[in-house]
């Protein structure tokens, strides 16, 4: 116990059939620190955490894990939980219909001679909720909570198991800035109570803000551990470790040639389909021109996706009013088909749920929205389909052995390229890209930016919705800011700064 | 042609897998992929071999082959409609009752009211379509799960059957309907001698030869076209081997049938249906949309697929096919009875799942469902030939269903692990 490392992983190697996911990885986590793990998608972060938490049992990997200096051989998750290690996955694993208290003690029920002691369950749950800064009643069903609060419930659940080492896999990926800030504060609070955290994150600004030390993985190997107390650690410093080279420019250079207005939206108002009377988008006005890349900034809940989807053939919302002009003529878009026919494409922010048929192959996903272009009198020409898909595979640099590969097995970046290909194949004039680089590693992001530039050069108008302000600033000619369903500002590239956008994005309604 | 189809489409499936791998692809994964897609056909072949041995060759006797086809025709027709519904991620529990009610309606029309049989058949098919539209409406547009709607339909249409029939059987059916269900093509060109095999119907043999030439021709053209698009195809010897294998199977079945009583009409009907629906699912926009809906309904919606209308029409289609099966079943018994079609839905669903459909939807093939149906048909027939009691037949069918789906889940899990 003289070791001040709560955890040491030494020489971890994990092999899947045909792939070495981890190779000789070393990781030391000091007691009471917040330790970040950074790496591109596929670098092996999640695999490493699964090895640690016993999802991959002892014997299925090589190397050693020491907890408190003691060699540990976890056979399953329960074994690691007993040593005080808890993992919170990116996809939250709460039973939506059950109450907060039931979820916290799920699998660990407080019982008295076989019967559940509800008073104690709810009482202790309330106590745990207080520790994570929630004031909700413990009997509230989890489905009534937002993602941010559900995350906190997960942490409360971990605390109920007397966690000493908390592992969080991309905890803020789905959170807005407020919720993220709250979560990071909570982790600091837990640190002062002696709870160690390991956090996996793509958000480098957060990592820099919160981490005491940072370990970087690349291609299944541990590259280095950075200590901000010893050297200055900038975002660029982390990125260069992740990609293995200094990244001079995160955005490809681009000069837009802007043409005529192609799409104009006037007085666009959308009501929530689930909450009666709630206005989600209010009197929004937007204009897009050929060859132009326009950004749409806004905090979570500002109505960005709702605005985009309601324009895209009324895929969201009820009681929609307003006018859409395409090339100066007013048009009606009553269905997705109408939108496609009028040359509008929407690339979703959640490609797995809304963008892809994950069990089908690349070519059929690419052809899904433009299948009629490949068909004569209802008959699909499968050879043409193959050719088209193969052309996209080459031009978009989709990394897959063939276009008959199943999309569910591709990496996030390659899946995104498939979705983009699908919509580019419909030959749209206007592309709405909703969080086009979410969950994609740095190298693939650069490729996606290049593709967006190329589309603009072909004379298409591109509307980019993004939560990452640097991305909007680096990519767009113009940025609209949205706050609580209203367009609160419009900023040209040359005047745009993060501070200015943030002002508009947080502007209260008059 | 139901026995032809698996062989030829099997060849197609394997060609498809062949071109899905680059020439330098990992051989071990290629094999496992092949096994997953063609496992069902291998299993079918093994089951046939097994029962041929157990029955001392009786399974493959001319009359018995004919029996297997005729006895299972209505299940196979139902399985075609069912696979489309299962691909779309739904289920239909009502088909047995729809079989009964459509048999009853056709009987009332033809027997009690002397409606000419073509008109009566047409009316029955339309009624089947209306029944499908009724269920499709509740499922697609009202949003009630298909399980519930068709469970209700199972009761509703059984009740309707009893009402229509007045709780008694109606028959006999006109000659033409009986011929469609039970009869054979006539020997238009007479018999020829096949040496030691004895006499055989020349017309049937010619149809078999035409079918083989057709299969070989289309496969060859597909291959040429793929080569033209620089896709990877099977090496020529393997391609030829598959064609020859398919030809041998087709001709063997046809020769046996020709030696018995020519081609059963239901076989001709089934062949047309299998061919038509295979083309629909693979090559027609509507068919592709069924897979898109079953694979990811939200993604399909956002890709411009009219999801509700797709679901509605596959239920209409199921209703029409169930009505067809109902007429054929009634014609075969020469009577429409109140208990007709009992538990047919279970056989049709089992056929689809044995044939490789996925419970979550998005996966499945018409030819697979037909093969699944034939596997159960051969087990039924083979076991009754060796005198097994019915409870044992049921036991074996249950185990086969479980094993088929377990194999599917297992191969999927292994494939998932391999890709991390």
Which of B283, B304, B363 lies closest to A369 in CB terms? B304
Q: With bands split at pLDDT 50, 70 and 90, how would you rate the model's confidence at A285?
A: very high
Average pLDDT, rounded, for chain A: 88
Q: Is the pLDDT of residue B24 over 50?
A: no
Q: What is the ipTM of this complex?
A: 0.82
For residue A364, the chain B residues in CB contact (below 8 A) are: 288, 291-292
Whole-structure pTM value: 0.79
Query: Which among B228, B289, B295 has CB closest to A360?
Result: B295
Q: Mean pLDDT lowest for which of A109-123, A275-289, B21-35, B256-270?
A: B21-35
> In this complex, do A19 and B291 lie within 8 Å of one another by their Cβ atoms?
no
Distance (Å) from the C-alpha of residue B233 to the closest C-alpha of chain A?
12
- Which residues is A112 bridged to in the sheet? A115
Angle between helices B366-385 and B265-283 in degrees, nearest 10: 150
* Section A319-328 average pLDDT: 93
A308 touching B (Cβ < 8 Å): no
pLDDT tens digits for B173-215? 999 999 899 888 877 777 787 777 777 888 888 999 999 999 9
Answer whether residue A18 shows pLDDT above 80.
Answer: no
Contact B302 A348 (CB under 8 A): yes
Distance (Å, rounded) from C-alpha B243 to C-alpha A140?
64
> Per-residue pLDDT tens for B319-376?
999 999 999 999 999 999 999 999 999 999 999 999 989 888 899 999 999 999 999 9
Q: Kindly determine whether residue B302 and residue A346, on different chains, have CB atoms separated by under 8 Å.
A: yes
Q: Which residues of B299-321 are buried (b: 16+ CB within 10 A; e: fewer)?
A: bbbbbbbbbbebbbbbbbbbbbb
- Per-residue pLDDT tens over the stretch B111-135: 999 999 999 999 999 999 999 999 9
A18 contacts in B (CB within 8 Å)? 26, 29, 418
Residue B303 to residue A359, Cβ atoms within 8 A: no
Closest chain A C-alpha to B244 CA, distance in angstroms: 25
- Binned at pLDDT 50, 70 and 90, residue A41 comes out as low
Q: Which residues of A touch B298 (CB under 8 A)?
A: 353-354
Closest by Cα among B287, B352, B280 to B75: B352
Read off the pLDDT of each residue in A413-442 and give the average, rounded to a whole number.
91
Q: Say if CB A87 and CB A165 are below 8 A apart.
A: no
> By the CB < 8 Å criterion, does A17 face chain B?
yes
**Considering only CB atoms, which chain A residues are within 8 Å of B23?**
none
CB A307 within 8 A of CB A268: yes
Distance CA B155, CA B161 (A): 10
**Number of CB pairs, chain A paired with chain B, less than 8 A apart:** 107
Judging contacts by C-beta atoms under 8 Å, the chain A residues touching residue B285 are 371-372, 375, 378, 380
| pLDDT over threshold 90, residue B231 | no
Give the whole-angstrom CA distance, residue A508 versus residue A486: 10
pLDDT for the residue A150: 86
Q: What percent of chain A has pLDDT over 70?
A: 96
pLDDT of residue A356: 93
Residues 6+ apart with CB under 8 A from B92: B81, B82, B85, B135, B146, B150, B315, B318, B345
Helices (DSSP H) in A91-234: which residue ranges?
Answer: 100-104, 118-131, 147-160, 177-192, 204-210
Which residues of A fall within a CB distance of 8 Å from B284?
375, 378-380
Return the pLDDT at A248.
58
Question: Smallest Cβ distance to B21: which of A47, A382, A402?
Answer: A402
Average the pLDDT over each of A259-263, A473-477, B14-18, B341-345 and give the range with the smallest value.
B14-18
Determine, for residues B304 and A335 on separate chains, whether the beta-carbon distance falls below 8 Å.
yes
Q: Is the pLDDT of residue B29 over 60?
A: no
Pick the more confident residue, A293 or B202: A293
Residues of chain A contacting B16 with CB distance shorter than 8 Å: 404
Chain mean position to CA A108: 30
A355: which chain B residues are within 8 Å (Cβ-Cβ)? 299, 302
Residue A357 and residue B299: Cβ atoms within 8 Å? Answer: yes
> Averaged over A329-335, what is the pLDDT?
94
Contacts of A372 in chain B (CB under 8 A): 285
What DSSP string describes B303-353?
TT--HHHHHHHHHHHHHHHHHHHHHHHHHHHTSB-TTTTTTHHHHHHHHHH
Cα B235 to Cα B233: distance, rounded to the nearest angstrom: 6
Contact A356 B283 (CB under 8 A): no
State how far the Cα of A182 lies from the Cα of A164, in Å rounded to an integer. 20
Q: Three-class SS of residue B354? A: helix
pLDDT of residue A323 exceeding 50: yes
**How many Cα atoms are found within 13 Å in the side-chain-facing hemisphere of A313?**
18
Please check whether residue B280 is in contact with residue B287, taking contact to mean a CB–CB distance below 8 angstroms.
yes
Task: Kindly determine whether residue A354 and residue B302, on different chains, have CB atoms separated by under 8 Å.
Answer: yes
Instruction: Read off the pLDDT of residues B259-270 as tens digits, 9 standing for 90 and up.
Output: 888 889 999 999
Our CA-based measurement puts residue A21 at a distance from the nearest CA of chain B, in whole angstroms, of 9
User: Are residues A214 and A45 in contact, defined by beta-carbon separation less than 8 angstroms?
Assistant: no
Helix pair angle (B202-228, B236-260), 10° resolution: 160
Number of CB atoms found within 10 A of residue A33's CB = 17
Q: Which residues of B fall within a CB distance of 8 Å from A405? A: 20
Query: Using the beta-carbon criterion (under 8 Å), do A368 and B283 form an inter-chain contact?
Result: no
| Biggest alpha carbon–alpha carbon distance for chain B | 68
**CB-CB under 8 Å, A368 with B285:** no
What confidence score (pLDDT) does residue B420 get?
A: 33
CB B373, CB B355: distance < 8 Å:
yes
More confident residue, A79 or A301: A79
What is the per-residue pLDDT across A109-143, written as a single tens digit (0 to 9) for each? 888 888 888 989 999 999 999 988 888 899 989 88
| % of chain A surpassing 90 pLDDT | 47
Nearest beta carbon to residue B296 from set A357, A402, A409:
A357
Say whether residue A361 is in contact with chain B using an 8 A CB cutoff: yes
Q: Out of B26, B285, B304, whose CB is closest to A378?
A: B285
At residue A339, the pLDDT reads 95
Task: Say yes or no to pLDDT of B277 above 60.
Answer: yes
Site from A312, A349, A354, A411 to mutate, B interface, most B CB atoms within 10 angstroms: A354
Least confident of B7-11, B98-102, B257-261: B7-11
Does the pLDDT value for residue A173 go beyond 90? no
Does the distance separating the beta carbons of A358 and B302 come in below 8 Å?
A: no
Q: Choosing among B304, B414, B417, which should be mutated to test the A contact, i.e. which has the most A CBs within 10 A?
A: B304
The shortest CB-CB distance from B417 to any of A16, A339, A422 is to A16
Q: Which helix (H) or strand (E) holds A19?
A: strand A19-30
Picking from A20, A360, A366, A400 by the largest number of B CB atoms within 10 A of its own CB, the best residue to mutate is A360
**What does the pLDDT read at residue B288?**
94
> Measured between CA atoms, how close is B259 to chain A, in angstroms?
39
Beta strands in A375-477 (DSSP E): 375-376, 379-380, 430-434, 461-465
Of A335, A357, A402, the CB nearest to B20: A402
How far from B332 is each of B27, B170, B266, B351, CA to CA, in Å?
A: 49, 13, 11, 21
- The shortest CB-CB distance from A360 to any of B26, B291, B419 is to B291
Can you list the pairs that B241-246 forms with residues at least 24 positions away whose Cβ atoms lie under 8 Å?
A: B242/B10, B242/B11, B242/B14, B242/B15, B243/B11, B243/B215, B243/B216, B243/B219, B245/B7, B245/B11, B246/B4, B246/B7, B246/B8, B246/B10, B246/B11, B246/B212, B246/B215
Instruction: Answer whether B296 sits within 8 Å of A336, measured CB to CB.
Output: no
Interface with B, mutate which of A361, A382, A391, A412 (most B CBs under 10 A): A382
Q: Whole-number mean pLDDT of chain B?
A: 87
Residues A188-212 pLDDT 10s: 999 999 899 999 887 788 888 899 9
């Amino acid at each position: 116990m003289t070791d001040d490392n709560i955890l040491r992983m030494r020489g971890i190697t994990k092999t899947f059939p045909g792939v070495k996911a981890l190779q000789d990885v070393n990781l030391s986590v000091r007691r009471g620190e917040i330790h970040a793990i950074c790496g591109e998608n596929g670098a092996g972060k999640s695999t490493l955490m699964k090895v640690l938490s016993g999802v991959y049992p002892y014997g299925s990997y090589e190397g050693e894990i020491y907890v408190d200096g003691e060699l540990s051989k976890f056979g399953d998750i329960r074994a690691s939980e007993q040593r005080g290690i808890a993992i919170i996955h990116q996809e939250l694993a709460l039973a939506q219909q059950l109450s907060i208290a039931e979820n916290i003690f799920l699998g660990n029920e407080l019982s008295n001679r076989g019967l559940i002691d509800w008073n104690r369950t709810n009482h202790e749950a309330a106590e745990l909720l207080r520790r994570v800064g929630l004031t909700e009643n413990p009997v509230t069903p989890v489905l009534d909570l937002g993602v941010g609060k559900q995350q906190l419930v997960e942490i409360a659940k971990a605390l109920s198991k007397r966690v000493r080492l908390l592992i969080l896999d991309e905890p803020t990926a789905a959170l807005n800035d407020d919720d993220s800030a709250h979560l990071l504060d909570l982790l600091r609070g837990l640190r002062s109570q002696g709870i160690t955290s390991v956090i996996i994150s793509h958000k480098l600004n957060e990592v820099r803000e919160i981490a005491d030390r940072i370990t970087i993985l690349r291609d299944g190997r541990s590259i280095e551990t950075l200590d901000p107390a010893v050297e200055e650690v900038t975002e660029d410093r982390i990125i260069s470790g992740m990609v293995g080279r200094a990244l001079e420019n995160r955005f490809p250079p681009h000069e837009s040639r802007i043409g005529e207005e192609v799409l104009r939206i006037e007085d666009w108002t959308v009501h929530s389909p689930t909450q009666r009377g709630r206005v989600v988008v209010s009197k929004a006005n937007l204009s897009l021109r050929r060859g132009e890349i326009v950004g749409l900034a806004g905090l979570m809940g500002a109505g960005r996706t709702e605005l985009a989807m309601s324009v895209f053939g009324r895929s969201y919302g009820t009681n929609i009013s307003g006018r859409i002009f395409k090339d100066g003529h007013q048009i009606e878009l009553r269905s997705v088909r109408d939108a496609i026919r009028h040359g509008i494409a929407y690339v979703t922010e959640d490609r797995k749920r809304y963008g892809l048929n994950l069990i089908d192959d690349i070519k059929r996903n690419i052809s899904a929205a433009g299948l009629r272009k490949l068909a004569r009198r209802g008959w699909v020409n499968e050879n043409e389909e193959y050719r088209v898909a193969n052309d996209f595979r080459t031009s978009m640099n989709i990394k897959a052995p063939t276009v008959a590969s199943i999309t569910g097995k591709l990496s996030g970046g390659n899946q995104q390229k498939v979705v983009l290909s699908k919509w580019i194949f419909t030959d749209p004039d206007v592309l709405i890209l909703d969080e086009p680089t979410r969950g994609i590693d740095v190298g693939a992001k650069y490729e996606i930016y290049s593709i967006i530039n190329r589309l603009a050069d072909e004379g298409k108008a591109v509307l980019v919705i993004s939560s990452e302000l640097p991305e909007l600033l680096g990519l767009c000619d113009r940025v609209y800011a949205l706050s609580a369903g209203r367009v609160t500002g419009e900023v040209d590239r040359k005047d745009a700064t993060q501070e200015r956008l943030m002002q508009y994005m947080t502007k209260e309604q008059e | 042609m139901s026995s032809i189809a698996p062989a030829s489409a099997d060849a197609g499936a394997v060609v498809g897998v062949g071109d899905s791998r680059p020439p330098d692809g990992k051989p071990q994964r290629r094999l496992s992929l092949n096994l997953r897609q063609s496992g069902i056909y291998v299993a079918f072949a093994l089951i046939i071999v097994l029962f041929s041995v157990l029955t001392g060759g009786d399974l493959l006797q001319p009359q018995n082959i004919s029996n297997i086809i005729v006895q299972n025709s209505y299940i196979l027709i139902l399985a075609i409609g069912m696979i489309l519904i299962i691909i779309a991620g739904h289920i239909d529990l009502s088909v047995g009752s729809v079989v009964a009610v459509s048999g009853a309606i056709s009987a009332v029309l033809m027997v009690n009211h002397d409606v000419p049989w073509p008109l009566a058949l047409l009316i029955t098919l339309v009624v089947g379509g209306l029944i499908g539209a009724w269920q499709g409406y509740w499922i697609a547009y009202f949003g009630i799960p298909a399980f519930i709607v068709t469970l209700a339909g199972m009761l509703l249409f059984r009740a309707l059957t009893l009402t229509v029939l007045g709780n008694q059987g109606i028959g006999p059916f006109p000659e033409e309907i009986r011929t469609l269900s039970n009869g054979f093509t006539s020997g238009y060109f007479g018999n020829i001698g096949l040496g030691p095999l004895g006499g055989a119907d020349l017309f049937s043999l010619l149809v078999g030869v035409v079918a083989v030439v057709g299969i070989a021709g289309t496969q060859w053209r597909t291959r040429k076209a793929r080569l033209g698009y620089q896709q990877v195809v099977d090496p020529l010897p393997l391609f030829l081997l598959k064609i020859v294998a398919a030809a041998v199977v087709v001709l063997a079945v046809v020769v046996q049938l020709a030696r018995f009583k020519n081609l059963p009409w239901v076989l001709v009907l089934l062949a047309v249906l299998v061919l038509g629906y295979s083309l629909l699912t693979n090559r027609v926009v509507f068919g592709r949309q069924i897979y898109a809906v079953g694979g990811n309904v939200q993604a399909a919606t956002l890709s411009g697929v009219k999801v509700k209308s797709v679901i509605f029409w596959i239920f209409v289609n199921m209703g029409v096919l169930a009505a067809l099966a109902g007429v054929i079943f009634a014609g075969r018994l020469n009577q429409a009875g109140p208990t007709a079609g009992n538990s047919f839905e279970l056989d049709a669903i089992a056929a689809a799942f044995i044939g490789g459909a996925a419970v979550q939807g998005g996966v499945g093939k018409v030819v697979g469902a037909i093969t699944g149906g034939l596997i159960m048909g051969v087990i039924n027939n083979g076991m009754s030939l060796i005198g097994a009691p019915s409870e044992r037949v049921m036991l074996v069918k249950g185990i086969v269903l479980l094993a088929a789906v377990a194999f599917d889940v297992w191969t999927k899990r292994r494939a998932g692990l391999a890709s991390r």
